[in-house]
DNA sequence: CGGGACTCCTGCCAGC
DNA sequence: TGCTGGCAGGAGTCCC
């Protein structure tokens, strides 16, 4: 599922139920996801208060009253679903798996968060189990293995044409691979890299280190624009992504190239091409992107 | 060392 | 209808 816009959509969906809530119950249905659950995971979470819910790249971060921060990564197919209860009654309009009978099968983690008279069951479901959760000391978040090497947030002022130029200057690899590298910039994935490069008119095959400062200066605001549009649309719903309340994002209707192999380029009409690099599909227009 | 290929896992869909 | 192969939003690891 999730690149930055989808994770941000999930964050916004979970925040009202989690921020300021006490974790009353934790159910773990298997020993591991991509990695084993941390030691004594249930004990370290139970009765902790969630101070806030933040996002870094494609990670969700929940700093806790215990001094640890709960980290979640959704991998390819992870998602969170909320069932909210108020005074023992389900809150109308909030769905729990109604839209998808497959969901219950891979419910790996269920957290009950209590806030005032509201209780929310928050379920992490992930068929492929490429996602994971972790608990790290809040005081050393930046030094933990997940964030130590991570590049700037693409929507932050620290991500500029200049900083991008600097981080890819020595790279022989393609601009596509460079932008997917979370050490260069954090949060981009296959969809939004394809879309941004199309809008910027840059070939995904072009060597990252050989792109002029001027073109990178134009690329960076385009990346921000694509991400902001996708966040505003609630992310992209391919296959199984939905927000925590079951609502579907709709940015997939605005794709210019992703998933459009053979369809006419919106700019010139030439067929969109698909190539495979490192096992990943890349969609682009060989006429408009140079 | 940088960079590319391969790998983890399950589900779905097109094609036969 | 049923099987098979290919493909999927990520990213760590291995090998050249």
Q: Tens of pLDDT along A105-155? A: 999 999 999 999 999 999 999 999 999 999 999 999 999 999 999 999 999
pTM of the full predicted structure? 0.94
* Separation in Å: B3 C1' and A176 CA: 13
Report the alpha-carbon distance of residue A71 to residue A141 in Å, rounded: 10
Element spanning A202, H or E: none
Mean pLDDT of chain A: 92
Quickly give A4 CA vs C5 C1' distance in Å.
31
Burial class (CB in 10 A: 0-12, 13-18, 19+), A224: middle
Encoding tokens for residue A241? 């992504």
Query: Is A171 an active-site residue?
Result: no
Q: Which of A2, A5, A63, A152 is catalytic?
A: A2
CA terminus-to-terminus distance, chain A: 29
What is the biggest distance separating any 2 CA atoms in chain A, rounded to whole angstroms? Answer: 61
Can you give the pLDDT at residue A247?
A: 80
Q: Are A111 and A50 in contact (CB under 8 A)?
A: no
Contact A244, A183 (CB under 8 A): no
Which tens digits make up the pLDDT trace of A4-20? 999 999 999 999 999 99
Euclidean distance between CA atoms A149 and A74, whole angstroms: 19
**Which single residue is written with the structure tokens 């219950």?**
A104
Those nucleotides of strand C lying less than 7 Å from any protein Cβ are 7-12
Nearest-angstrom CA–CA distance, A49 and A33: 24
Q: Does residue A58 have an active-site annotation?
A: yes
**Which residues does residue A133 pair with via DSSP β-bridges, in sequence order?**
A72
Output the six-digit token pair for A236. Answer: 């992209």
Q: Count the neighbouring beta carbons within 10 Å of the beta carbon of residue A290.
A: 11
State the pLDDT at residue A57.
Answer: 98
Alpha helices by DSSP H, chain A: 4-18, 41-45, 161-168, 175-180, 190-200, 213-232
CA dist A109 and A115 (Å) reads 19
Write down the pLDDT at residue A240.
59
- Given its phi and psi angles, is residue A54 left (phi above 0), alpha (psi -120 to 50 degrees) or beta? beta
Which segments within chain A are labelled E, that is strand? Answer: 22-28, 54-56, 59-63, 68-73, 79-86, 89-90, 107-115, 118-125, 132-137, 273-277, 280-284
| B3: residue with closest CA to C1' | A173
From the CA of A117 to the C1' of C11: give the distance in Å.
40
> What are the residue ranges in chain A where pLDDT is below 70?
1, 87-103, 239-243
């Amino acid at each position: 599922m999730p690149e930055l816009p989808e994770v941000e959509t999930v964050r916004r969906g979970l925040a009202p139920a989690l921020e300021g809530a006490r974790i009353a119950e934790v159910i773990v249905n298997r020993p591991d996801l991509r990695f084993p659950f941390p030691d004594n995971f249930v004990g370290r979470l139970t009765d902790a208060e969630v101070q806030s819910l933040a996002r870094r790249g494609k990670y969700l971060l929940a700093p806790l009253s215990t001094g640890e921060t709960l980290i979640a990564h959704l991998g390819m197919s992870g998602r969170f679903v909320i069932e909210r209860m108020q005074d023992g009654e389900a809150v109308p309009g909030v769905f729990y798996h109604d839209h998808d009978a497959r969901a219950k099968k891979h419910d790996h983690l269920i957290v009950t968060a209590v806030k005032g008279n509201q209780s929310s069951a928050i379920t992490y479901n992930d068929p492929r189990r490429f996602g994971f959760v972790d608990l790290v000391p809040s005081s050393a978040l930046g030094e933990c293995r997940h964030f130590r090497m991570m590049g700037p947030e693409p929507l932050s002022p620290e991500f500029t044409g200049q900083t991008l130029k600097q981080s890819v200057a020595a790279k022989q690899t393609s601009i596509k691979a460079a932008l997917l590298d979370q050490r260069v910039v954090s949060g981009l994935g296959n969809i939004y890299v394809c879309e941004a490069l199309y809008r910027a008119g840059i070939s995904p095959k072009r060597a990252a280190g050989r792109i002029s400062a001027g073109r990178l200066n134009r690329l960076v605001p385009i990346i921000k624009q694509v991400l902001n549009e996708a966040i505003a649309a609630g992310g992209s719903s391919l296959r199984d992504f939905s927000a925590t309340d079951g609502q579907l994002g709709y940015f997939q209707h605005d794709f210019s190239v992703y998933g459009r192999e053979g369809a006419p380029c919106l700019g010139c009409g030439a067929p969109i091409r698909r190539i495979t690099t490192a096992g990943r599909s890349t969609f682009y227009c060989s006429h408009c992107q140079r």
